[in-house]
C-alpha cells in the first residue's frame, strides 16, 4: 500500500465515509479537514489522472473523488469500483505515422529533439512544431490562445449515466479552477488539449469535460459558430497517442466518447525484418528463473521508470508506484519487468539502474530499438516470438505466445506461473511486440 493509499484509508475511517456512502451515496470533505486533521496536502492526495491511480479504498467503496470547489471535494458512489469517472482509452490500431526528426531539427533548433522531453509543455510544443497536432485534427491554421488556469464561476450539476440511467447527485460543482495544457484556435474550431507524459489506459473525465464545458459556454457568450474539440494526448519516449472526443450530452458528465485516435512517432523506423532475422540467429535465450516473467503491458512506461530510477539513484516499488501513479502491485510488476530484462538491479528493498540500463538510456534515439531487440532476443518466449515474426513476417497470436510460455515453464527457462496468469503474461509479450513493430520499416 502506498503512502497515499494509507492516507485515504485513514480519512475514510476517521470521517466514517463508508457509512455515509452506504446511507446516501455521497460524502463531502474539505481541504481544511485533510490538511489540519490528517496533515496531508489535499492537492497531492486528490490528484488522480487515471483509474490506475485511484486509491484502493475508493475501489472498495465503488467511489471516486470529484472537486466541488477549490476547498471541498465530493466522494461519489458511482458503482463499478469508481470506474465511471475514468473512461477507457481505446488501443490505437495499426502502424504509427513516423515524423523525421532531421526535418524538425532543421526548422526548429531550440527543442531537444533527440532527448526525452522532460515536461508536458515541452512535449506539446514539439507536437505542434512537428505538425503532429495539425495532422491529427486536419487543420494547419492553429494559433496558441489558451494555456493555464481559468475560474469556472457557474454552477455545474453532477449527473452521470450509470447502468443505463442518468443519476444526479444533490451536489453542484461551483467556483472551481480548470486548467488547459494547450488551447488552439483556428478559423472554425477551438481545440483544447489535455496532455500526459505517462501511458495510462484510462483518463479522468473531469480533466477533459470541465474545460470543454467552460469554453463551450464562453464561445456561446461570444455568439460564434466555432466548435470546441477536446483532444487528449499521451506522450512517452518519442511516441504520441492522440484521442479526440465528442460529447453527446453536455449535462451528463460521462457522456463523452473517443471518436478518433492517432499514433505518431518521432524518428524514422530503424529496424527491418532482415535485421530481426539476423539478431535471432546470432543471439540465444538465457534462462531467467530468479525474476518472474513480465506482466507489464505498457513497454513505453519502462522508459519512464528507468529515467526516474537513474535520476533518483534508487527507488522502492512503493516509490515507483507513486511516481507512475498506479498501484503498488503494478509498481512491483513494472520494476520486476525491467529487472527481468536486466535494466534494473536490486539493492535491499530498492531498485537501481544497471550497467545495461544506463547504456540503453544513454543510447541515441535510433539505437535504442536495436538494443531492445537484442535484449528481447536473449530472453525466453520473446526469442521464439521474434523467430516466428522474422520467418512469417507476421506477429504471433496470443494463443501461440501462451504455448511458448508453457514450454518455457516446462523446460525451466522461466519461473513457474499459475495457469490463470499465463494469458496476462502473453498480453504483455503481445503489447511489447506491437511497440517493436512500430520501429520496423515496411517493404
- If you search the block for the grid coordinates 504455448, which residue do you land on? 403
Q: Which of 85, 116, 131 is the last residue of a domain?
A: 85
Report whether 331 contacts 339 (CB < 8 A). no
* Same domain assignment for residues 297 and 320: yes
Q: Which domain holds residue 34?
A: 3-85
* Same domain assignment for residues 290 and 231: no
pLDDT of 94 reads 84
* Same domain assignment for residues 278 and 262: no
CB < 8 Å & 24+ apart, contacts of 268-271 = 268/98, 268/100, 268/101, 268/366, 268/441, 269/98, 269/369, 269/438, 269/439, 269/440, 269/441, 270/366, 270/367, 270/369, 270/370, 270/439, 270/441, 271/369, 271/370, 271/373, 271/436, 271/439, 271/440, 271/441
Sign of CA dihedral 314, 319, 321, 323: negative
Q: Kindly provide the residue ranges of all beta strands, DSSP E only, lying in 286-357, ordered along the sequence.
A: 315-316, 344-347, 350-353
Strand partners, 231: 193, 244
Which of 34-38, 93-97, 346-350 has the weakest average pLDDT? 93-97
pLDDT of 349 reads 93
Segment 74-98 mean pLDDT: 94
In a domain, 30, yes or no: yes
* Statement: residue 116 has pLDDT above 90: no
* Same domain assignment for residues 126 and 242: yes
In a domain, 442, yes or no: no
What's the number of domains the chain is made of? Answer: 3
Q: Kindly provide the residue ranges of all beta strands, DSSP E only, lying in 78-220, ordered along the sequence.
A: 97-99, 143-162, 165-185, 189-196
In a domain, 101, yes or no: yes
* Same domain assignment for residues 285 and 425: yes
In a domain, 443, yes or no: no
Which among 152, 90, 133, 132 is positioned nearest to 229, based on CA atoms? 133
* Same domain assignment for residues 81 and 165: no
Q: What is the C-alpha R_g of the chain?
A: 23
Q: Which of 85, 111, 138 is the last residue of a domain?
A: 85
Segment 56-66 mean pLDDT: 97
Segment 269-288 mean pLDDT: 95
How far does CA 85 lie from the centroid of its chain? 16
In a domain, 92, yes or no: no
- How many percent of the chain have pLDDT more than 70? 100
* Same domain assignment for residues 19 and 108: no
How far does CA 82 lie from the centroid of its chain? 18
Q: Which of 25, 60, 85 is the last residue of a domain?
A: 85
In a domain, 194, yes or no: yes
* Same domain assignment for residues 255 and 293: no
* Same domain assignment for residues 262 and 278: no
| pLDDT tens string 12-59 | 999 999 999 999 999 999 999 999 999 999 999 999 999 999 999 999
SS3 of residue 263 by DSSP? strand
* Statement: residue 443 has pLDDT above 80: no
In a domain, 90, yes or no: no
Q: The pTM is what?
A: 0.93
In a domain, 91, yes or no: no
| pLDDT tens string 207-235 | 999 999 999 999 998 989 999 999 999 99
d(CA 349, CA 344): 13
* Same domain assignment for residues 173 and 252: yes
SS3 of residue 206 by DSSP? helix
Average pLDDT, the chain: 94
* Statement: residue 135 has pLDDT above 90: yes
DSSP string, 267-301: S---B-HHHHHHHHHH--PPPB-SSPPP--S-HHH
**CATH code of the domain covering residue 363:** 1.10.10
Q: Cα torsion for 303, 304, 305, 308, to the nearest 10°?
A: 120
* Same domain assignment for residues 259 and 121: yes
Higher pLDDT, 221 or 134: 134
How far does CA 17 lie from the centroid of its chain? 29
* Same domain assignment for residues 140 and 226: yes
Amino acid at each position: 500500500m502506498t503512502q497515499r493509499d494509507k492516507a485515504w484509508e485513514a480519512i475514510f475511517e476517521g470521517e466514517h465515509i463508508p457509512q455515509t456512502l452506504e446511507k446516501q451515496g455521497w460524502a463531502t470533505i474539505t481541504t481544511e479537514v485533510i490538511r489540519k486533521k490528517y496533515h496531508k496536502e489535499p492537492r497531492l492526495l486528490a490528484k488522480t489522472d487515471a483509474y490506475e491511480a485511484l486509491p484502493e479504498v475508493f475501489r472498495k467503496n465503488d467511489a471516486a473523488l470529484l472537486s466541488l470547489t477549490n476547498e471541498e471535494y465530493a466522494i461519489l458512489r458511482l458503482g463499478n469500483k469508481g470506474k465511471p469517472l475514468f473512461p477507457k482509452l481505446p488501443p490505437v490500431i495499426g502502424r504509427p505515422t513516423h515524423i523525421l526528426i532531421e526535418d524538425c531539427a532543421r526548422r526548429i533548433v531550440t527543442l531537444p529533439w533527440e532527448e526525452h522531453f522532460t515536461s508536458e509543455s515541452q512535449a506539446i510544443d514539439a507536437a505542434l512544431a512537428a505538425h503532429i497536432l495539425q495532422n491529427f485534427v486536419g487543420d494547419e491554421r492553429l494559433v496558441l490562445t489558451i494555456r493555464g488556469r481559468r475560474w469556472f464561476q457557474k454552477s455545474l450539476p453532477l449527473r452521470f449515466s450509470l447502468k443505463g440511467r442518468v443519476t444526479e447527485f444533490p451536489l453542484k460543482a461551483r467556483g472551481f479552477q480548470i486548467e488547459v495544457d494547450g488551447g488552439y484556435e483556428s478559423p472554425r474550431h477551438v481545440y483544447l488539449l489535455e496532455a500526459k507524459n505517462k501511458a495510462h489506459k484510462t483518463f479522468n473525465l473531469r480533466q477533459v469535460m470541465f474545460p470543454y464545458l467552460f469554453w463551450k459556454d464562453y464561445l456561446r457568450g461570444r455568439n460564434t459558430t466555432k466548435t470546441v474539440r477536446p483532444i487528449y494526448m499521451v506522450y512517452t519516449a518519442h511516441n504520441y497517442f492522440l484521442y479526440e472526443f465528442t460529447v453527446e450530452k453536455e449535462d451528463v458528465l460521462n457522456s463523452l466518447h473517443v471518436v478518433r485516435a492517432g499514433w505518431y512517432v518521432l524518428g524514422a523506423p530503424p529496424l527491418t525484418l532482415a535485421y530481426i532475422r539476423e539478431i535471432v540467429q546470432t543471439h540465444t535465450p538465457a534462462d531467467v528463473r530468479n525474476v518472474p516473467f513480465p506482466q507489464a503491458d505498457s513497454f513505453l512506461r519502462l522508459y519512464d521508470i528507468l529515467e526516474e530510477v537513474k535520476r533518483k539513484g534508487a527507488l522502492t516499488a512503493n516509490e515507483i508506484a507513486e511516481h507512475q501513479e498506479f498501484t503498488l502491485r503494478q509498481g512491483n510488476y513494472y520494476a520486476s519487468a525491467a529487472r527481468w530484462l536486466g535494466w534494473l538491479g536490486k539493492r535491499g528493498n530498492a531498485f537501481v539502474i544497471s550497467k545495461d540500463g544506463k547504456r540503453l538510456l544513454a543510447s541515441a534515439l535510433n539505437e535504442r530499438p536495436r538494443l531492445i531487440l537484442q535484449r528481447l532476443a536473449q530472453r525466453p518466449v520473446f526469442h521464439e516470438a521474434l523467430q516466428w515474426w522474422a520467418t512469417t513476417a507476421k506477429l504471433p497470436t496470443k494463443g501461440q505466445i501462451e504455448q511458448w510460455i508453457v514450454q518455457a515453464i516446462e523446460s525451466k527457462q522461466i519461473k513457474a506461473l499459475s495457469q490463470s496468469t499465463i494469458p496476462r503474461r502473453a498480453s504483455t509479450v503481445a503489447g511489447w511486440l506491437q511497440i517493436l513493430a512500430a520501429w520496423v520499416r515496411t517493404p
